[in-house]
Structure 1
Amino acid sequence: MQTGPADNEIINKVLGGEQALYAHLVKRYQNFVFTIVLRYTISREDAEEIAQDVFVKAYRSLADFRGESKFSTWLYTIVTTTCITFLRKKKISVHSLDNEHIFEVADNQNATFRANQVEQKSKAQVINEAIKLLSVDDARIITLFYQAEQSLEEIGRIIGVDPNTAKVKLHRARQRLKEKMEKHYAEEVKDMVG
């Protein structure tokens, strides 16, 4: 839960000349931004560079935020466009939901993931690792709903579909996440439940 002044209150003060208050928004959303960026790149160095770029772009565009949706929804759009632009510059392809090859690659990496599971992981770590096995589109909708706490209406706006379609996509993404967790993290899931 967020503590302190509301996002819109901070934004109005920043736009009114109190630029130093922007640091509160950066602190409040740095984990949110970094989590999303890591869905696009596995390089921590690249992720840090992209996250910094996101906050610079958001600051420069702050006057464009109209408050029609949550600040996190607006910021999410900047994160995804910045990530895609960065990846295009690096000539890395961005995979879509329709690319079933992602699932094959993830399934073939089972041995690697097992080797890295020596230590006991927290529930959040296991879930985040399982999300990384999903396609970009599935990871995005799971992240938006559970980590960014966006409503189905807001998710629909972000991905360009109506709320009912967003609900169906979320349901399917949850199913794929459950399958990945059961296949790759069976022991951890058993420990979580029992």
Structure 2
Amino acid sequence: MNDAEIVRRVLDGDVNAYALLVDAHSAQIMGIAARHVPPDRAAEVAHDTFVRAFERLATYKGESPFVHWLTRIALRRCADFWRGRARSRETPFSALGTGAREWIESIPDSAAEDVDAHAERNEAGVILDWALAQLTPDDRQVLVMTHMDGQALNDVAELMGWSLSKVKVRSHRARRKLRDVLGRMLD
């Protein structure tokens, strides 16, 4: 049975059939959530995605694959997560772990050293997560999708519901904003 048939069954009153859709797509939605929100919150966002999809199932028109429709909902839920975080966005530099602060402070002194060796350290991931959290949810998502996940611009445009030119512009601006955030940290 394909996704469209399952959706039709759910809408016809067989709500238990929705579990088939959850089973079929939970790994992909969890993967999306894990790339766009902190790992300890990914399961919650994935769950919220399936709840929202169930609530909105009647709006699925079948014009695109169900998984694309579900992915758009997952991306919106990820953006909602960061919007909620943005209300209390101020994360003081002192809130970073000692290792992360030491790594940031060592960058100017180690300019001659191999920067890639520093990037491999765990603290670099913490710093990147912190810096990404300083961006707007849309900027964070487009940056993660285009540059970290390596998704094609056309795919990102379709998933975000944007034009290709908007994806290109937002991606460029998001990179510049991330550079500015990281630059301010070093000042």
In the other structure, the counterpart of 2:158 is 157
Q: Aligned partners of 2:150 and 2:22: how far apart in 1? A: 18
Q: Is it true that 1:33 corresponds to 2:20 in the alignment?
A: no
Q: What secondary structure, in the 3-state scheme, does the structure 1 residue paired with 2:63 have?
A: coil
In the other structure, the counterpart of 1:54 is 49
**CA RMSD of superposed structures (Å):** 3.9
Q: Aligned partners of 1:144 and 1:69: how far apart in 2? A: 22
TM-superposed CA distance for 1:72, in Å, is: 1.0
Q: Is the 8 A contact 1:14 1:22 kept in 2?
A: yes
Q: Is it true that 1:110 corresponds to 2:119 in the alignment?
A: yes
Q: Is it true that 1:10 corresponds to 2:6 in the alignment?
A: yes
TM-superposed CA distance for 1:51, in Å, is: 0.7
Q: Is the 8 A contact 1:145 1:155 kept in 2?
A: yes
TM-superposed CA distance for 1:90, in Å, is: 1.9
Write out per-residue CA displacement over residues 87-113 of structure 1, whole angstroms, 9 at most, x where no aligned residue.
Answer: 2112277xxxxxxxxxx9996852415
Please identify runs of 4+ aligned residues in structure 1 that moved more than 3 A: 104-109, 141-146
Q: Aligned partners of 1:51 and 1:28: how far apart in 2? A: 13
Q: Is the 8 A contact 1:37 1:79 kept in 2?
A: yes
Q: Which runs of 5+ in 2 are unaligned?
A: 90-103, 108-114, 123-139, 172-187
Q: Is the 8 A contact 1:39 1:136 kept in 2?
A: no
> Which has more helix, going by share of residues?
2
Q: Is it true that 1:20 corresponds to 2:21 in the alignment?
A: no
Q: State the identity as a percent.
A: 27
Q: What secondary structure, in the 3-state scheme, does the structure 2 residue paired with 1:90 have?
A: helix
TM-score, scaled relative to structure 2? 0.56
Query: How many residues get paired?
Result: 132
Q: What secondary structure, in the 3-state scheme, does the structure 2 residue paired with 1:38 have?
A: helix
What amino acid is the match of 1:11? V
**Structure having the higher Rg:** 2
> Where do residues 1-194 of structure 1 align in structure 2 (5 Å cutoff)?
5-44=1-40, 46-91=41-86, 110-113=119-122, 136-141=141-146, 152=154, 155-159=156-160, 160-162=162-164
Q: Which runs of 5+ in 1 are unaligned?
A: 94-103, 114-134, 173-194
TM-superposed CA distance for 1:145, in Å, is: 5.5
Q: Is the 8 A contact 2:10 2:17 kept in 1?
A: yes
For the structure 1 residues 74 and 11, does the alpha-carbon distance in structure 2 shift closer, same or farther, using more than 3 Å as the test?
same
